[in-house]
Amino acid sequence: MSVAKLVEKHISSIPFLEESIQDDLINISSLARRLKPAIEEELGKTVKIGAVVMAINRLNFKKLKKVNNEVSDFLSRVGDIIIRSNLSTYTFKNSMTLSAAQMKLMDIVSNEIDGFCTVSQGVYETTVVTVSTLDDEVKKLFAKESVIENQSNLSSVTLRLPTNDVPGVYYYILKHVAWENINISEVISTRNELTLVVSDDEIDRLFTVLMQLKKKK
């Protein structure tokens, strides 16, 4: 492995670092001093700080720029942005009886004018997101299930995404949300929709971030 390859490897492994270097937000000399010990350890020999600095300055960000431009164009064509409030989440340990309770809940939701419910089933646990007005029904239907976590006072933003596929869309969105220090409680996705669930006091900031991404071109 060359110094250049190791520099590229380490920089790509640190979240948001490539973007920060590209935007001239990073002191290259300080970064080189930070990377130098790890690079020397992997190479098994001493490396001059100047060689690390040169390797950083020679990094090719054309691929990153191309991806960012494609994603930015994709997000400019996002359709409706739908906000929902008054939500609760329940995470249950998977069991043989969980599916039956889910079906009963879906029947109830289908008869509600403002009904909203999503179910995300993992290998070991399942999360139900629904309107808080159905809390009593959820607790009744899932009374025999093992509750891992229950959250309330939540809101969500749903993006209607264009139908074409563009690599890096979710990363690009979640990166900007993370930069604003917004904690996401749940991520729900279908083929052309992305829903982010956050606490009520974060919803305004989340909506602002997503609108800025939609307008950014």
- pLDDT tens readout for residues 202-211: 999 999 999 8
Same domain, 122 and 204: yes
Same domain, 43 and 137: no
Residue 74 counted as domain residue: no
Residue 18 counted as domain residue: yes
The domain in which residue 145 lies consists of 81-215
Same domain, 43 and 88: no
Residue 71 counted as domain residue: no
Q: What is the reported pLDDT for 146? A: 97
Residue 72 counted as domain residue: no
What would the mean pLDDT of 163-178 be, rounded to a whole number? Answer: 85
- pLDDT tens readout for residues 20-55: 887 778 899 999 999 999 999 999 999 999 999 999
The domain total for the chain is 2
Same domain, 107 and 196: yes
Same domain, 44 and 88: no
Contact (Cβ atoms closer than 8 angstroms) between residue 51 and residue 133: no
Least confident of 4-13, 147-156, 192-201: 4-13
| DSSP, residue by residue, the chain | --HHHHHHHHHHTSTTHHHHHHTT-S-HHHHHHHHHHHHHHHHTS---HHHHHHHHHT---HHHHHHHHHHHHHHHT---EEEEEEEEEEEEE--TTHHHHHHHHHHHHHT-TT--EEEEE-SSEEEEEEEGGGHHHHHHHTTTS-EEEEEEEEEEEEEE--SS--TTHHHHHHHHHHHTTPPPSEEEE-SSEEEEEEEGGGHHHHHHHHHHHHH--
Residue 160 counted as domain residue: yes
Q: Does residue 62 have a pLDDT over 80?
A: no
Same domain, 54 and 85: no
What CATH number should be reported for the domain holding residue 201? 3.30.2130.10
pTM (two decimals): 0.74
Cα angle for residues 43, 44, 50 (degrees, 5° grid): 60
Same domain, 184 and 85: yes
Least confident of 33-37, 75-79, 128-132, 192-196: 75-79
Q: What is the reported pLDDT for 49? A: 93
- pLDDT tens readout for residues 87-134: 999 999 999 999 999 999 999 998 877 778 999 999 999 999 999 999
Same domain, 51 and 91: no
Same domain, 203 and 110: yes
Same domain, 116 and 147: yes
Q: What is the reported pLDDT for 165? A: 79
What proportion of the chain, given as a percentage, has pLDDT over 70? 95
CA 23 to CA 26: how far, in whole Å? 8
Same domain, 200 and 98: yes
Q: Taking all residues of the chain, what is their mean pLDDT, rounded to a whole number?
A: 89
Same domain, 49 and 109: no
